[in-house]
Chains A and B, each alone.
Chain A
Amino acid sequence: MAKILLIDDDEQVLKVMTSFLEREHHQITTAINGRLGISLLEKQQFDLVITDVIMPDQDGIEVLMWFLKQVNRPKIIAMSGGSASLDQNLLLNTCSKLHADKVLSKPFDFATLTSAVSEVLEI
């Protein structure tokens, strides 16, 4: 069981992913934007952060850049469905360069998610 922080501005995505990950007995905390996510990270320890990239009020790229300044950081999975002006692959490549441990292209299924989580947590 891992302690996971989910950051996504789409409330339905948060809900469905929470349902998935709770089935795998993970402990899930959610945040609806990067700013709230970072404020949670400043207070709590997490094993894994799964963050969306394009969000209002501090996006996933800012979350990743915040991690660059941290000494101890959890594992990170970045996920994106693209944006109005940027290609989905470009966004995810940028996340990889910012040391995201895994990137997922939305939409993805249950198996893909659980496999990615297992991979980064080396479960």
Chain B
Amino acid sequence: MAEEMKNTTSASELRRKADENIASQPQPTSDLDAKRLLHELQVHQVELEMQNLELSATVTSLKQEITDRKEAEAKLHIIEEKFSTTFHLSPDSININRLSDGMYVEINEGFTAITGYTAEEVIGKTSLELNIWDNPEDRSRLAKELKECGIVNNLEATFRRKDGTTVVGLMSARVIKIEGEPCILSISRDISIRKQTERLLKASEERYRTIFEQSLDAIFYTNPDGAIYKANPSACSMFGMTEQELCAAGRNGIINRDDPKLAAAIADRKQSRQINTELTCVRKNGEVFPAEVSSVITSEDPPQSFVIIRDISERKRIEQQLLQSQKMEAIGQLAGGVAHDFNNKLMAILGYAELAKMDINDSDKILNYLDEMIRAAEHSRDITCRLLTFSRQQVVTPQVLDANKIIAHSLKSLYRLIGEHVSISFEPCENLWNIGMDPVQLDQVVMKLSINARDAMPDGGSLIIETRNTTYDISSSSSIDAVSGDYVMVTFCDTGTGMDKETLTHIFEPFFTTKEVGKGTGLGLATIYGIIRQNSGFIDVTSSVAQGTEFKVYIPRHFSEPIKEPAAKADSVSTGSSSILLVEDEDAVRNVVSLFLKKIGYTVHEAATPTVALELADDPSIQIDLVLTDYVMPGMNGKVMMERIHELRPRIRCIYASGFSTEHVQFSKEEHFMQKPYDLIKLSGLLKRVISGKEVQ
């Protein structure tokens, strides 16, 4: 509005000046002159109006120009502020140097943070004066590239800080003009940490590569489905395949697919993401070998796993050899002990035989001598029985027992085995409950735990064996095998070297031993554990290093009374009149058994070989009610022979006898077994029962 008023004022002024001008002019003398003058004035007015319009447009344009300029100036100011802020606050080092002499013109805080120099210390100086280049070649490269291209990108250079330490920077620079003066704008980023990380990563990769390449174990990169991506040289030599062949073979081509543990191992790894187990693997030539397999799933996306396979064939072979040598050592030790006892018993047998010859006419004395000889022989039979027990060749026959009696019996042999440097005491519980167990097995437990205690006391000590009735409460138990109930507890407490917790967790594992090489018996605690578990019992062990160990063996209470064997009566010979086929390859045994059987009324057909026995069985004129046969014979064992005899004479009953184990042999209802050496009186009883059984049928 003000502008319009101004314009109006100017127009009125013009009009006034025009009026004055006209008034000063000579007045028109005629109408014609007046009309001409009016016309001229009108023309001037139009011209003036047009000029006025042009001037207004010019003013508007100038106003717009002024506005635009102001806006541009404001924007420029903002940009300058932004730049300044960025310049000063950037964590990267930024510096501006004059191109002409290299002097620092300006630096930012990042420069100070990285180099340690403040602006006051560097402005007006050159980088050479500050000695900031650790490697002068870096500066030369920068200068050369700037000269050639006017710009440098990502130049790696090492700078020396104010304190003398160095820093690796990644530098970009370009030539710019500031107020017409060519300058170098440089930006550097501290990449020391990145470089160190790179170095560490490289070193780690190098180490990994060395392990991968040099490891004696096979190492694979796989996916959890069994595809192989990469295999190391040991994998190639272990499986006899190239890396390409291994990748093509995959898991199924190297792990034995028939291994019963494979499926569980895969499931375990899926659940726990890693496994460490023993499996069997297959080489290219088909050879199956035992291996320790460790596998870890390292990534889910993409699915990746890392597998290490160690060939343990050699270790297994050595373990077997060690086991064998331990067994041999134990047998050697046992043989010495057995020889001692046998020699004593032979002394008795030979001595009484000699005495019998001397007193040949004194039947009472002879009877006494013979009884002594039988006692000595029976004791010898117990010794061989113990021998078989140690080599686990004994048929297990649980009986109702008084553990005190068995332990007292075992102690007789123990004194010799343990040696005088260890004192043994036995504290039997009165009215001890009965247990249901093979006495030989209990004897085995007593012997092994006592021998172990002895070995834990090389400098002597004491072993206390104690029995007790106990009612076990599972809620206060530390044994995972424990079940609440009534038990006979047999405690073996020694004052030996004891064990630490780690050792305690392994003692029942097969082959685990803490003994020096050559001192192990090879009859490990694993056997004891197996025996006690077989009898539904369990073992609690407590031990302290240098203080001793206590084994508490819990055997379930048996509620029946011990059965007295009828054959225990010395004179209870059972007579008979049936016909027996006696098959025995040992002449002395066959003769004495034959004589005995004939003496008590049986008819005996003797056969020294299975072939002769089959011929006799094939003869219909010979009556055979029962076959009494050795089990282990040259050419054919008793079982095979009986199968053939049964083809000729079905349902004929049989008693096998053997000094060896028949642990893995299944006997039918018609078949019976006697462990050699057997008592002839017991044999007579068994014959009577077996034959009468047949008669009932």
A12 touches B376 (CB 8 A): yes
CB-nearest residue of chain A relative to B379?
A12
A106 touches B333 (CB 8 A): no
Q: What is the predominant secondary structure among interface residues of chain B facing chain A?
A: helix
In chain B, residues 337-382, which have Cβ atoms closer than 8 Å to a Cβ of chain A?
337, 339-348, 350-352, 354-355, 358, 372, 375-376, 379
Would you give the shortest CB distance from B214 to chain A, in whole angstroms? 47
Most buried by A among B339, B351, B376: B351
In chain A, residues 28-81, which have Cβ atoms closer than 8 Å to a Cβ of chain B?
54, 56-59, 80-81
**Distance between Cα atoms of A15 and B372 in the complex (Å):** 10
Residues of the A chain whose Cβ atoms lie less than 8 Å from the Cβ of B333: 84-85
A84 touches B340 (CB 8 A): yes
CB-nearest residue of chain B relative to A57?
B420
Is B150 an interface position by the 8 A CB rule? Answer: no
**Distance between Cα atoms of A87 and B347 in the complex (Å):** 18
**Distance between Cα atoms of A40 and B420 in the complex (Å):** 21
Would you give the shortest CB distance from B376 to chain A, in whole angstroms? 6
CB-nearest residue of chain A relative to B413?
A84
Q: What is the predominant secondary structure among interface residues of chain A facing chain B?
A: loop
Which single member of B343, B351, B417, B420 contacts A82 (CB below 8 Å)? B343
Residues of the B chain whose Cβ atoms lie less than 8 Å from the Cβ of A59: 420
Q: Chain A 1-20, CB within 8 Å of chain B: the 1/0 string?
A: 00000001110110111011
A12 touches B420 (CB 8 A): no
B344 touches A83 (CB 8 A): no
B355 touches A16 (CB 8 A): yes
CB-nearest residue of chain A relative to B354?
A110
Is B336 an interface position by the 8 A CB rule? Answer: yes
Is B39 an interface position by the 8 A CB rule? Answer: no
Which single member of B345, B346, B350, B416 contacts A84 (CB below 8 Å)? B416
Would you give the shortest CB distance from B455 to chain A, in whole angstroms? 12
Would you give the shortest CB distance from B95 to chain A, in whole angstroms? 89
B354 touches A106 (CB 8 A): no
Which single member of B344, B351, B415 contacts A81 (CB below 8 Å)? B344
Would you give the shortest CB distance from A66 to chain B, in whole angstroms? 14
Residues of the A chain whose Cβ atoms lie less than 8 Å from the Cβ of B416: 54, 56, 83-84
B372 touches A12 (CB 8 A): yes
Residues of the B chain whose Cβ atoms lie less than 8 Å from the Cβ of A15: 348, 372
A12 touches B350 (CB 8 A): no
CB-nearest residue of chain A relative to B357?
A110
A86 touches B336 (CB 8 A): yes
Would you give the shortest CB distance from B330 to chain A, in whole angstroms? 10
Would you give the shortest CB distance from B341 to chain A, in whole angstroms? 8
Residues of the A chain whose Cβ atoms lie less than 8 Å from the Cβ of B417: 84
A84 touches B336 (CB 8 A): yes
Residues of the B chain whose Cβ atoms lie less than 8 Å from the Cβ of A110: 351, 354-355
**Distance between Cα atoms of A82 and B333 in the complex (Å):** 11
Residues of the B chain whose Cβ atoms lie less than 8 Å from the Cβ of A107: 343-344, 346-347, 350-351
Is B334 an interface position by the 8 A CB rule? Answer: yes
Would you give the shortest CB distance from B379 to chain A, in whole angstroms? 8
A10 touches B344 (CB 8 A): yes
**Distance between Cα atoms of A9 and B415 in the complex (Å):** 11
Is A122 an interface position by the 8 A CB rule? Answer: no
A81 touches B343 (CB 8 A): yes
**Distance between Cα atoms of A9 and B340 in the complex (Å):** 12
Knowing A82-B343, A83-B416, A85-B336, the reply to whether A13 touches B348 (Cβ < 8 A) is yes
**Distance between Cα atoms of A123 and B351 in the complex (Å):** 23
Residues of the B chain whose Cβ atoms lie less than 8 Å from the Cβ of A82: 336, 339-340, 343
Residues of the A chain whose Cβ atoms lie less than 8 Å from the Cβ of B342: 81
**Distance between Cα atoms of A109 and B417 in the complex (Å):** 27
**Distance between Cα atoms of A57 and B336 in the complex (Å):** 19
A106 touches B420 (CB 8 A): no
Would you give the shortest CB distance from A85 to chain B, in whole angstroms? 6
B420 touches A56 (CB 8 A): yes
A12 touches B340 (CB 8 A): no
Most buried by A among B334, B336, B350: B336
Would you give the shortest CB distance from B331 to chain A, in whole angstroms? 11
A106 touches B347 (CB 8 A): yes
**Distance between Cα atoms of A23 and B339 in the complex (Å):** 28
**Distance between Cα atoms of A68 and B413 in the complex (Å):** 30
Would you give the shortest CB distance from A64 to chain B, in whole angstroms? 14
Would you give the shortest CB distance from B314 to chain A, in whole angstroms? 32
Residues of the B chain whose Cβ atoms lie less than 8 Å from the Cβ of A9: 415
**Distance between Cα atoms of A12 and B341 in the complex (Å):** 11
Which single member of B336, B352, B355 contacts A83 (CB below 8 Å)? B336
A56 touches B415 (CB 8 A): yes
In chain B, residues 391-422, which have Cβ atoms closer than 8 Å to a Cβ of chain A?
415-417, 420
Knowing A16-B352, A23-B358, the reply to whether A54 touches B340 (Cβ < 8 A) is yes
**Distance between Cα atoms of A19 and B362 in the complex (Å):** 15
Residues of the A chain whose Cβ atoms lie less than 8 Å from the Cβ of B420: 56-59
Q: Chain A 94-109, CB within 8 Å of chain B: the 1/0 string?
A: 0000000000001111
B337 touches A83 (CB 8 A): yes
Residues of the A chain whose Cβ atoms lie less than 8 Å from the Cβ of B341: 81
Is A27 an interface position by the 8 A CB rule? Answer: no
Knowing A56-B415, A59-B420, the reply to whether A108 touches B347 (Cβ < 8 A) is yes
Residues of the B chain whose Cβ atoms lie less than 8 Å from the Cβ of A81: 339-344, 347
Residues of the A chain whose Cβ atoms lie less than 8 Å from the Cβ of B352: 16
B339 touches A17 (CB 8 A): no
**Distance between Cα atoms of A39 and B337 in the complex (Å):** 27
**Distance between Cα atoms of A17 and B372 in the complex (Å):** 13
A106 touches B343 (CB 8 A): yes
B344 touches A88 (CB 8 A): no
9 nearest A-B pairs in the assembled complex, by CB-CB distance: A81-B343, A16-B351, A56-B415, A84-B337, A12-B348, A106-B343, A107-B346, A107-B347, A10-B344
Binding site for B on A (CB under 8 A): 8-10, 12-13, 15-17, 19-20, 23, 54, 56-59, 80-88, 106-110
Binding site for A on B (CB under 8 A): 333-334, 336-337, 339-348, 350-352, 354-355, 358, 372, 375-376, 379, 415-417, 420
If A54-B416, A110-B351 are given as contacts, then 10 extra A-B residue pairs at C-beta distance below 8 Å, sorted by A number, are A9-B415, A12-B348, A16-B348, A17-B347, A56-B420, A57-B420, A58-B420, A82-B339, A83-B416, A84-B340
Can you report 25 residue pairs joining A to B where beta carbons are below 8 Å apart? A10-B344, A10-B345, A13-B347, A13-B348, A15-B348, A16-B347, A16-B351, A23-B358, A54-B416, A56-B416, A56-B420, A80-B340, A82-B336, A83-B337, A84-B337, A84-B416, A88-B339, A106-B344, A106-B346, A107-B343, A107-B346, A107-B350, A108-B347, A110-B351, A110-B355
